[in-house]
Structure 1
Amino acid sequence: MIPKYLKRSFWFVCIFALVACGSNNQADEGVDADGELLSLDVEFELPEQEEVGETVELKATVTYGGEMVTDADEVVFEHWLAGNEDDSTMVESTNHEDGTYTAKVTFEEDGVYEIYAHTTARDLHTMPKKSITIGDGHAESNDASNHDHGHHDTEGFVIHLMDINEVKVAEEADFVVHLQLDEEPFENANVRYEIWNTENENEREWIDATESKAGEYLGTHTFDEAGTYTINVHVEDDEDLHEHSDYNFEVVE
């Protein structure tokens, strides 16, 4: 016969295990104990102003549901001179394995620089943006080469097309767009890519993008000929939102 105190201990262990399993399942499903959705949050730190030629530290502190994320899939800083987003630079971060990710950059000319902290973790993506003034903040920007010729009526809405790698004729190309509203992933949108060769603007192709992660939309296309192309990203929702941005890229043999 099993003593009563051992039976009590056995049932206590079972109940504890069930509670723990339930908590783990909730975490796997992206909700907390109260059923609230867990969020991926990034505290992006950098100075407001710095001198030309000085080293600037970019720092992102990443949390998920209030817990430090020590194993983010990616934290990459993207910076560009305001008005010249087409000429941006991507900088990989160093993971300090305590929830913080840093990189060091040096700006060689006066101006205001915009910086994204692209962060991917727990199947989510967020990209808080900040700016820094270098020197006296005055610099000529090339508006003609602006990366984003967008129509943005919704305040706080961001369309960001990830860097387009070398696109070749007859090879499938991936186009990935991240959408945010007030720095939160914009989900369940209707996203379509309109693509055309700039030498023949009357012939346009439409591609439906699918949401691969929260706020991330993927579309693919294969090109028949080389040239300079434009992709216009159209975003709509079930209400009255309609935003679009266009980008240029090259297709090579």
Structure 2
Amino acid sequence: MEQLYKRSVMMKQFIMPGLFTVLLLLLAACGSQEVKDQTGDTDEGAVTKPHVEVKFDEEPLPVNKETTIQAIVTQDGEEVTDAEKVEFEIWKKSDGQDTSEMIEAENQGNGAYAITYSFDSEGTYKVYAHTTANDVHVMPLVEVEVGKEHGKKGNTEEEHSDDHKHSEGKEYTVHFMNDAEFKTGKPSQLTAHIKHGEKPFTGAQVRFEISSYQMDKHEYVDAKEDEDGEYTGTYTFPSAGDYTVKVHYEKPKEDIHGHQESQVNVRK
């Protein structure tokens, strides 16, 4: 009996560590599978940005004569017939963006969205097609000559701005997403896209200046760069009404600084 007891104890001493090791291996395998599942292919189901081509019905563009401006919107090679919004922003380059007009386009079908517009004088104009399709926002730019023989000039680009400094003829452009929904009593995301020419303007110091007739003083929100050239911050608007949001951007060491104002309407 004593020998049987000793054998039983020896078997337990051998089996228990073995079972413990197996359990550890099983737990490790489950943990590895969980991490693998969480770090799978993040590109699956990613939304492709819409492609927008801006077209004119004649070139060179005439002065004081209605001309058609079209945005042809496609996504993954297919026509987007139900874009949430397409707006053309137009201004004369020499007058600055503060003089721009924003005109909502009509859906013409087959992925085409159009307006008719009359340019009142010769010169270089900027035409932005602010396009929101399937919850994705893009802002292609075309620079055109009006009343001049060399006609259309430049390439399509994305985004938009006010600039204080030029470098090699390239402008700093800013677009503040003022078509977002802003409500009182909860944090609102402020988003601005900044470019230098056709490239994202990265590594800048950016902050949002918020002001209103309802406020005793201006308030400032420091922005962080989430993606190249995209700067965001959060702010809780104290009450409903109209506000001015000024985007300040700078690189002090390079003597670059500028700003762009936008108007937003805040609801309860």
CA apart distance, 1:210 = 8.1
Higher relative contact order (CA 8 A, sep 6+): 1
Selected match of 1:73 from 64, 70, 84: 84
Per-residue Cα deviation, 1:143-188 (whole angstroms, up to 9, x for no partner):
xxxx6134576968742235699x9xx999875423457768x699
Give the letter for the 1:207 counterpart: D
Task: Pick closer, same or farther for the CA change 1:128–1:221 going to 2, 3 Å.
Answer: same
1:129 counterpart = 2:141? yes
**Other-structure match for 2:249:** 234
Counting only pairs closer than 5 Å after superposition, residues 189-208 of structure 1 correspond to structure 2 as: 192-195=206-209, 205-208=220-223
CA apart distance, 1:57 = 0.8
CA apart distance, 1:55 = 0.8
CA distance in 2, matches of 1:94, 1:70: 11
TM-score by length of 2: 0.54
Alpha-carbon contact 2:87-2:130 (below 8 Å) kept: yes
Unaligned runs of 5+ in 2: 1-42, 150-160, 212-217
TM-score by length of 1: 0.56
Give the letter for the 2:235 counterpart: T
Selected match of 1:108 from 111, 117, 120: 120
Counting only pairs closer than 5 Å after superposition, residues 79-228 of structure 1 correspond to structure 2 as: 79-82=90-93, 83-135=95-147, 148-150=162-164, 158-162=173-177, 175-179=190-194, 192-195=206-209, 205-208=220-223, 217=232, 219-220=234-235, 222=237
CA apart distance, 1:209 = 6.0
CA distance in 2, matches of 1:101, 1:208: 34
Per-residue Cα deviation, 1:61-91 (whole angstroms, up to 9, x for no partner):
1111112111111111000011421111001
Alpha-carbon contact 2:63-2:121 (below 8 Å) kept: yes
Unaligned runs of 5+ in 1: 1-25, 31-37, 138-146, 198-202
CA apart distance, 1:244 = 5.3
Selected match of 2:46 from 19, 23, 29: 29
Equivalent pairs, count = 199
1:41 counterpart = 2:51? yes
Task: Pick closer, same or farther for the CA change 1:195–1:183 going to 2, 3 Å.
Answer: same
Task: Pick closer, same or farther for the CA change 1:116–1:50 going to 2, 3 Å.
Answer: same
RMSD, aligned α-carbons: 4.8
Greater Rg over alpha carbons, structure: 2
Task: Pick closer, same or farther for the CA change 1:187–1:247 going to 2, 3 Å.
Answer: closer
**3-state SS in 2 of match to 1:86:** helix
Alpha-carbon contact 1:188-1:211 (below 8 Å) kept: no
CA apart distance, 1:191 = 7.4
**Other-structure match for 1:51:** 62
Alpha-carbon contact 2:178-2:262 (below 8 Å) kept: no
Percent of aligned positions that are identical:
24
**Other-structure match for 2:72:** 61
Task: Pick closer, same or farther for the CA change 1:121–1:229 going to 2, 3 Å.
Answer: closer
CA distance in 1, matches of 2:142, 2:127: 5
Selected match of 1:247 from 260, 265, 268: 260
Q: Tell me which protein shows more helix as a share of its residues.
A: 2
Alpha-carbon contact 2:122-2:148 (below 8 Å) kept: yes
Alpha-carbon contact 1:177-1:218 (below 8 Å) kept: no
Task: Pick closer, same or farther for the CA change 1:250–1:243 going to 2, 3 Å.
Answer: same
